[in-house]
């Protein structure tokens, strides 16, 4: 059983901020910034891409509500909402979760950087990916 399933079953202690029949949210054990929180479906899905649509929709509503509350209570100036999906994207716990990372200033401990890479043929790329 994965570590988040153990938390959901109550086998590992956590600091719960919200819970209902589908979702639990608790403080991340390593606080990247103060208030760093994980929102987790109670059913085990490996990641965002495989999560059931209804559960995902509900989880995102909870994420919005909680992110507003966290920003309010921590006086954060911004917030990153993200889900690492797959090992190559930095996912370390293979149970779908959304991170809420409050941001205080550009020098806080959360570094998300978009670097310029090779130029792409946007026309070809778009026609390949576009959902018609």
Could you list the active site residues?
97
Of residues 12 through 71, those in contact with ligand 5GP by CB under 6 A are 12, 14, 26-30, 38
For the chain, the 3-state helix, strand and coil shares in percent, each to the nearest 5, are 30, 20, 50
Residue 17 makes CB contacts below 8 A (sequence gap 6+) with: 25, 26, 27, 37, 66, 69, 70
4: contact with Zn ion by CB under 5 A: yes
Closest CB to Zn ion among 1 and 57? Answer: 1
Q: Are 69 and 21 in contact (CB under 8 A)?
A: no
Q: How far apart are CA 73 and CA 87, in angstroms?
A: 32
Q: Are 95 and 5 in contact (CB under 8 A)?
A: yes
Q: How far apart are CA 50 and CA 48, in angstroms?
A: 6
93: contact with ligand 5GP by CB under 6 A: yes
111: contact with ligand 5GP by CB under 6 A: no
Among 55, 91, 104, 108, binds ligand 5GP (CB under 6 A): 91
5: contact with Zn ion by CB under 5 A: yes
12: contact with Zn ion by CB under 5 A: no
Residue 29 contact among ligand 5GP, Zn ion, none, beta carbon within 5 to 8 Å by kind:
ligand 5GP
Query: Binding residues for ligand 5GP, per CB under 6 A?
Result: 3, 12, 14, 26-30, 38, 84, 90-93
């Amino acid at each position: 059983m994965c570590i988040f399933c153990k938390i959901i079953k109550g086998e590992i202690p956590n600091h719960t901020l919200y819970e209902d029949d589908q979702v639990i949210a608790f403080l991340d054990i390593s606080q990247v910034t103060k208030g760093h929180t994980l929102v987790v479906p109670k059913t085990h899905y490996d990641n965002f891409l495989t999560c059931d649509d209804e559960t995902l929709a509900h989880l995102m509503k909870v994420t919005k509500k909680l992110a507003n509350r966290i920003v309010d209570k921590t006086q954060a100036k911004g917030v990153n909402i993200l889900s690492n999906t797959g090992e190559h994207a930095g996912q370390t716990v293979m149970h779908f979760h959304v991170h809420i990372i409050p941001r205080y200033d550009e020098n806080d401990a959360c570094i998300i950087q978009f670097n310029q890479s090779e130029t792409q043929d946007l026309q070809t790329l778009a026609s390949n990916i576009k959902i018609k």
